[in-house]
Structure 1
Amino acid sequence: EGPQPTLHGCVHVACLSALGCYTECLRLVSGWLADRPSSDLYVLRARLYWQLDQPAACYHDNHAALLLEPLSAPATTLLSQLEAGSDLARQKAVEHILGGRLTIALAKITSALDLHPREPRHYLLRGILYRRMKDFTASIEDLVRAVELGSEEESAGGAGAEEEEGVSVVEEALGQLVLTYNDFGVHCSSRGLQAEATLLLDRAIQEETGDSRLYLNRAGSGEELGRTEGDALCDSLKKKLELF
């Protein structure tokens, strides 16, 4: 059998932790978890990850603890702390966005996601921010993730996360995806990548057929496409879009 968390072992970990030897503590606790997972051990390792400045790993271990024991008081308390820190980082990101400091805002919302990697509102905000920064591929990935997590919340029986005016995160993320496909398509068209632009604008129209501007953008791209030929980049982009 593997190592067990004996009384001596627990005292040893406590002493090492008091001395700041968190990496050694992590090694010992990971050995115990590999042999016999438990909610308490996951919470203990989550707190060690926090001390080592690894918030994402901290969250995932705490999430594992709650899966094993949904009413675990230590895990629930730690989750509340992580959510509070995550929400604060999100607020800071919004402030920086309003101030036009997009790079700093990106760092803040990424920090929010490190603290709470399953919060769809954070992916939604970062997806919007990526679009403003013209990182369209990253924007699409985050918005798709927002839809996935928001849908999971709704499927679990909850109302789902909501943005302002009662619009669900899923609805907002889908709307933002249309804008991203459109902006990405226009961006490609402006660079002479007409085949790619047409693929993206087609995808935007599939999601939202009521906006005439999308048809106009596609028509313009189609005219240019008639004077150019598709290439490997177009094929690569088409394959990527099929994944979303």
Structure 2
Amino acid sequence: MEHAREEEQNEESQHQTLAEEDPIMLGAGVFPTALSEEQLAAATEKARQDLFGSSKIFHLDAIEKKNYVMSDIINNRAEEHYEKGKTLVNMGLMEEAIISFNKALNLDPRRKEFYSRKAEAYLYIGDFQSSVLNYRMASNLDPADESLVSTISHTLYIHVVSCYRDISHALSLDPSHPEAVSLMATLKLRAEEAKARAVNKALEGNMNGAFHCINKAIDNNPVELDYYIFRGTLYRRAKNFNAAIDNYLLVLDKVNDMKESETYLETQRQLLLTYNDFAVHCYHRGFYEEAVLLLNQSIKEEKQEKGLYINRGDCFLKQCNLDFALLDYEQAQELDPEDWRIQIRIAAVNNEKGLLSHQNRNYQEADERFTTAIEGNPCMSQYYLNRAKTRQILRHVTGSQEDAVTSLLLDIRNKQTFFSNSTEGSE
């Protein structure tokens, strides 16, 4: 009995010692070890050899090497299925191609081109939902690919247009068909709500949001021409003039037989404004020839707008085509004889033509041009000075002296006016 008690006391003493050495480990239900990591690794290797002997089948490096080989085999096999699918698409066998693309994706689901090709095959057979799903899978793998986002939007647009046409066809066969009537009303309501949101966002200056909403409106009701006119206006504000023109031309093509309608007239007006804005945009960037071509198109459709002639005349003046510039300014003056801006431009052209005549020693013609320039803008001191030089050569002494004095007086007066305005402005 005493011997047994001594053994129990020894065991309790050992447990107490362990607890004192590491109470946390004891409380966690685990035991501490005095072995180092190297000793543990050696023990693990010994246990493996006891079980498997000298075989290298279960070595980690052998397993990794084998995995690399298997990966190459899988990738090559996936590529084979993908290429076969492309061949089947070219043969027009879309369903078989989809099967091949599926096999490729089963082996390698991280290749966006596999999803893209599969989406194209679905699009060929009219399965829009499956097509969009696969395009989105491809986009998720490469979010930076903007072409995929554009393709998704285009596919959705085709799908909605297809649905709209199907509903329209159903209504043409049975105008009272309840489901078709309900679906059509839903599409039109969604379109109007999207158009309203587009207007609000445009007023807020959120052009990206406005484009997104008006595109939604067009997706739901692609036959509403007002949406295209509004989108054209947005493109014009964003200075994407080519896109704006495309939208307006689309509308004009649809209402070509109704040239007296309000839609046609409004679209035609917006198109002319866009041509003019595009021309001004080109003018400020030095593309005068392109600007003239755009203004030619505008004037062809609207011959009573003086601003178009003024702008084209400015382009001709920049190109030193003085005769054409003068013709445009004079045409604008006929439309509005009281516009002083036109008179100033005509005077500037006559002054330039006078300088050319003076250089060519056609002094009498130069005198006439300078006189016309002064009549158009009598406050320009340089015109008097130019005529004074010409009259001096023509030996019109009195006239030359009078022009020189007038030029000097105007120059002093202009400087005094300038400095006076500058002083007032600074105060």
Q: Identify whether the pair has TM-score above 0.5, normalized to the shorter chain.
A: yes
Q: How many residues align?
A: 168
Q: CA deviation at 1:72?
A: 3.3
1:210 to 299, 304, 310: 304
RMSD between aligned alpha carbons? 2.5
Q: CA deviation at 1:185?
A: 0.9
Quote the Cα distance in structure 2 between the aligned partners of 1:133 and 1:81.
31
Q: CA deviation at 1:147?
A: 2.4
Cα deviation code 1:13-63 (max 9, x no counterpart): xxxxxxxxxx9xx76xxxxxxxxxxxxxxxxxxxxxxxx894333223223
Structure 2 length-normalised TM: 0.36
1:185 to 273, 279, 285: 279
Contact 1:94–1:105 (8 Å) recurs in 2: yes
Q: Which amino acid aligns with 1:209?
A: K
Contact 1:120–1:146 (8 Å) recurs in 2: yes
Q: Which amino acid aligns with 1:57?
A: S
| Percent of aligned pairs with the same amino acid | 35
Quote the Cα distance in structure 1 between the aligned partners of 2:256 and 2:164.
21
Cα deviation code 1:49-101 (max 9, x no counterpart): xxx89433322322333344444332222111111110110000000111111
Partner of 1:89: 194
Higher helix proportion, which one? 2
Map of 1:119-138 to 2, 5 A cutoff? 119-138=224-243
1:169 to 228, 242, 263: 263
Contact 1:147–1:170 (8 Å) recurs in 2: yes
User: Are positions 1:60 and 2:165 aligned together?
Assistant: yes
2:250 to 138, 145, 152: 145
Q: Which amino acid aligns with 2:209?
A: I
Quote the Cα distance in structure 2 between the aligned partners of 1:194 and 1:176.
22
Contact 1:188–1:197 (8 Å) recurs in 2: yes
Quote the Cα distance in structure 1 between the aligned partners of 2:175 and 2:240.
38
Point out the structure with max Rg over C-alpha: 2
Unpaired runs of 5+ residues, structure 2, are 1-121, 128-155, 322-427
SS at match of 1:209: coil
Partner of 1:47: none
User: Are positions 1:118 and 2:223 aligned together?
Assistant: yes
Greater length-normalized contact order (CA 8 Å, ≥ 6 residues apart): 1
Partner of 2:9: none
Quote the Cα distance in structure 2 between the aligned partners of 1:108 and 1:225.
43
1:219 to 301, 313, 318: 313
Partner of 2:398: none
Structure 1 length-normalised TM: 0.62
User: Are positions 1:196 and 2:196 aligned together?
Assistant: no
Quote the Cα distance in structure 2 between the aligned partners of 1:194 and 1:67.
52
Distance 1:172 1:108, change over 3 A: same
Q: CA deviation at 1:179?
A: 0.3
Q: CA deviation at 1:172?
A: 0.9
Unpaired runs of 5+ residues, structure 1, are 1-22, 28-51, 161-167, 228-244
Partner of 1:44: none
